[in-house]
A and B are shown apart, each in its own frame.
Chain A
Amino acid sequence: MRCHADTDTVDFVIVGTGAGGGTLAARLAEQGFSVVALDAGPFFRPLLDFASDETAQNQLFWTDKRVSSGTNPIKMGGNNSGKAVGGSTVHFAMVSLRFRPEWFKSRSILGYGADWPLDWAEMWHYYSMAEQALAIAGPIHYPWGPKRPRYPYRAHELNAAAKLLARGCEALGYRWSETPLATVSAPRGKSPPCVYRGFCRFGCSTNAKQSALTVWIPRALKAGAEIRDLAMAGRIDVDHQGCATGVHYVREGQWRFQNARNVIVCGYAIETPRLLLNSETACFPDGLANSSGLVGRYLMTQANQAAWGRMEDEVRWYKGPPSLALTEHWNYEDRGKDFFGGYCWMGQGPLPIEWVSVQTSARGLWGPALRTEMMDYNHQIGVKMVGEMLPNEDNRVTLDDDTDQYGLPIPRITYEWSENDKRLINHALNQMTMSLAAIGATRIFPQDDDTNHLAGTARMGFNRETSVVNSDCRSWDIPNLWICDGSVFPTTGGVNPALTIQALALRTADRIKHLAARREL
């Protein structure tokens, strides 16, 4: 690995190496820029470091101190944030979906949320690039949305849970599909094909998963980027002309400063605004890039409610990646809805400890009742939604008085579901329950409190008054400060976000190249 001294002024220092940061590190280095990418988490070697143990793999999650408040506080941790080189993609579920094109203009076309300053057709191009890079294994024909090129790898074999999802959809008259997944169904480079052991959300120990850690980081290293792990950025410095000069970070107990011509923040929807807010100066008393006052605002999570049931036959839902099949019916069907937005639902395969926590939290089971219920583990079946929650200014990340292990003020997260969100969730719970009933599942129960992916808090937009960054992910206020991760989403759509983040990062890298060529960096 090429290494830089802190005193070297590198072209780009990137904070965070997940879906956004990892992709940018690779693409910018490949374009010839000097790049140092910092990540607060360790650089894991999955073949050596990953245990087949749910508890041990908590090492992947961001479990630093955070305050979660509001009417519907978001449960933080493994279900929404990672801390590792590769970011949350190290333990993400690999579902790689494209936005419905209309969502890029949901305000003007669908009447809710906000428009993105991007054209869907252009994004379609970058989605294809991302899918190729990640060797997505997907169906030959994806039933929803405009035509897309063939996925580079074939879809995986459906497990029993996925086949049951398909039967449920067929019973309701909805289309279903194999889920496009970022895990290979045939060998690829050093990745062996998936072995269907279902540990995906606890880190894939075979490297079949095509995460930022296995795809972008190796590319970044090859192109000469430096990946500095266990390096927590605490503050971005800005000179008196209002330009970023580099990043203060702590590594091995020491605060250091990396000089850079450009800073790109890719810490995801909680840590990105936190870093910007923690970097306030006399010139920027409300934090960096925050003249609009919107840094930290419009936080969105996605509804992740589920319906669970029991089948007479054994299902063994833990086999294989959890979400092998899905339906996007309610993302593309606008009729018959009493809410804005969309949702999809997909197959599930929680591992035992996760399943215990569903039983204890959603049903309050304990003791012998819990034990009896767990005996049925191999017969359980379930579907889980990924639902669009609407952007709301008051759902936000602010700084708390408390500090973390680095002495940095911790984030306070405030969240409340809107009436629209609740209607969407109810609709989905009804539909999912019906789909389970239709295949003869018994003892069906809803899990109505779960949320997962995050977005917002540094939204992109058309002008400096109503957004934090422009369509190039460049902050309106500080020309050499960029933000490129899930936090720039103006709306979150009804699909998992990682592919969109990576497509966005690919576009941003191209835009940076273009701007550099025109000396506009």
Chain B
Amino acid sequence: MTKDADNRSAAPPISGGAIPEASNIARAPSRPATDRVYERSAHDLHAAAGLIALSVLLDSAVEHYRGSYHNKAMFTPLVTATITLTATAHGLRAPAGLGHAGRRGIFVLAVATGAVGTGFHVYDILAKPGGISWQNLFYAAPLGAPSALIVSGLAGFLAEHIRATPPDESARVFGHSVSRSAALGSALALVGTSAEAALLHFRGAFQNPAMFFPVTLPPVAAGLLGFAGLRPAVGAYPVTQACLTATAAIGLAGTGFHAYGVARAMGGWRNWHQNLLDGPPIPTPPSFAALALAGRAALRLLAHDASRAGHTPARAVPP
């Protein structure tokens, strides 16, 4: 790939435009270019973390209401997701450095809450007759839901790391490059989200062919993203990028499809107070868009890594 790097610099790839500051082609990126890449990536990761937290907040509010909040612990994700959401909003706007430590703490809390929640949900499944069975995977507390909070926390955590990294240093987390961690993490989260959609759409017997979208395209995007995270970084990822864009589109369209699903339940939207609870969950599909956003941030960082290493210009990075 690196062989034609020079050709590419002569005819810049079209994958999503260029960062203005970086448009003067250079072998090593300038400080402001790095600044910009870090800033944008942190921004997108914050946004992704926020979107997922919002989805967790709305979804757990509805689902735990459905479960009558019979256990007080069922309020936890609401509280944590709200705090996480606030932290991401703050992170998106606050000047670098301000509130960093506090937000980091909150993101760690989100990860911990997600982990404990997963424990609760596993226990709920095991305690039911049949244990680990399709019945319980379908209808007991969903395994994947609390891990969304973990993903949100991790995305926020990475965003904080990137923000805290001086432009002349390469961003690293626990000794690993942030770009790779973000790529692999987003890929894994996409696979997980897809797996949950697969489980629940299987429960719905794939009665509408559109239900196959979220279980086919995102895994492909995840595969490409994971591949990108494992391989030496290159200057541009047009195919991966396109797949992530499509994944985001599916996520947004999914909300529309789920709204249609609510309409198909008895009484449709007129009976929203029941059908919002029992119909397909409207807040969950945008998680795909959030993860696609995180994936794009990862690609941007990877491309930046490549340009730092002097392989390709940093301009082939999406905005």
Contacts and interface: CB of A to CB of B under 8 A. Distances in A.
* Shortest 5 CB-CB contacts between residues of A and residues of B: A166-B129, A157-B139, A186-B204, A192-B266, A187-B264
A178 B203 CA distance: 14
A490 B205 CA distance: 36
Contacts of A193: 265-266, 278
B265 A155 contact: no
Interface string A136-171: 000110000000000011110110000100110010
A81 B195 CA distance: 46
B216 interface: no
Interface of B: 128-130, 134-135, 138-139, 202-205, 207-208, 261, 264-266, 274, 278
A518 B264 CA distance: 46
A163 B265 CA distance: 25
Given A154-B203, A154-B205, A208 B266 contact: yes
A158 B139 contact: yes
Nearest to A164: B129
Contact of A192 (B203, B205, B264): B264
A185 B135 CA distance: 12
A65 interface: no
B206 to A, nearest CB: 9
Contact of B266 (A158, A163, A195): A195
B266 A185 contact: no
Contact of B265 (A139, A178, A187, A188): A187
- Quick one: which of B129, B130, B208 has the most chain A CB within 10 A? B129
Contacts of A188: 207
A152 B204 CA distance: 10
- Quick one: which of B204, B208, B266 has the most chain A CB within 10 A? B266
A206 B134 contact: no
B266 to A, nearest CB: 4
B265 A152 contact: no
A139 B134 contact: yes
A155 B135 contact: yes
A154 B266 contact: no
B205 A170 contact: no
A170 B129 contact: yes
Contact of B202 (A139, A152, A154, A195): A154
- Quick one: which of B130, B135, B202, B208 has the most chain A CB within 10 A? B135
A185 B264 contact: no
B40 to A, nearest CB: 41
B129 A187 contact: no
Contact of A157 (B138, B202, B264, B265): B138
Given A167-B129, A186-B204, A186-B205, A140 B265 contact: no
Contacts of B130: 166
Nearest to A190: B264
Contacts of A185: 203-205
A166 B129 CA distance: 6
Nearest to B202: A154
Interface in A180-209: 185-188, 192-193, 195, 206, 208
Contacts of B208: 187
Contacts of A206: 266
A250 B129 CA distance: 54
Contacts of B128: 163
Given A155-B138, A186-B205, A193-B266, 8 more contacts: A154-B138, A154-B202, A166-B129, A176-B129, A186-B203, A187-B208, A192-B266, A208-B266
A158 B130 CA distance: 11
Contacts of A154: 134, 138, 202-205
A506 B156 CA distance: 59
A152 B139 contact: no
B256 to A, nearest CB: 16
Interface of A: 135, 139-140, 152-155, 157-158, 163, 166-167, 170, 176, 178, 185-188, 192-193, 195, 206, 208
Nearest to A151: B205
Contact of A153 (B129, B139, B205): B205
Nearest to B280: A186
Contacts of A155: 134-135, 138
Given A154-B204, A155-B135, A157-B139, A192 B265 contact: yes
Given A154-B202, A154-B203, A163 B129 contact: yes
A185 B279 CA distance: 11
- Quick one: which of A135, A140, A170, A176 has the most chain B CB within 10 A? A140
Contact of B207 (A170, A178, A187): A187
Contacts of A135: 205
Contacts of A140: 134
- Quick one: which of A135, A170, A176, A186 has the most chain B CB within 10 A? A186
14 contacts: A135-B205, A153-B205, A154-B203, A154-B204, A155-B138, A158-B135, A166-B129, A178-B135, A185-B203, A186-B205, A186-B207, A187-B207, A187-B265, A193-B278
Nearest to A150: B205
Nearest to A187: B264
A178 B205 CA distance: 16
A49 to B, nearest CB: 16
Contacts of B274: 195
Contact of B261 (A176, A187, A208): A187
A173 to B, nearest CB: 14
A52 to B, nearest CB: 13
A435 to B, nearest CB: 13
B135 A152 contact: no
A62 B130 CA distance: 40
Contacts of B134: 139-140, 154-155
A155 B265 CA distance: 17
Nearest to B274: A195
A92 B273 CA distance: 29
Contacts of A152: 205
A135 B138 CA distance: 18
A206 B274 CA distance: 14
Contacts of A208: 266
Contacts of B264: 187, 192
Contacts of B265: 187, 192-193, 195
B63 to A, nearest CB: 13
Nearest to B136: A158
A176 B205 CA distance: 22
Contacts of B129: 158, 163, 166-167, 170, 176
A154 to B, nearest CB: 5
Contacts of B205: 135, 152-154, 185-186
A415 to B, nearest CB: 38
A155 B139 CA distance: 10
A158 B134 CA distance: 12
A152 B265 CA distance: 19
Nearest to B206: A186
A178 B134 CA distance: 10
A157 B189 CA distance: 27
Contacts of B202: 154
Nearest to A153: B205
A215 to B, nearest CB: 15
A165 to B, nearest CB: 9
B164 to A, nearest CB: 47
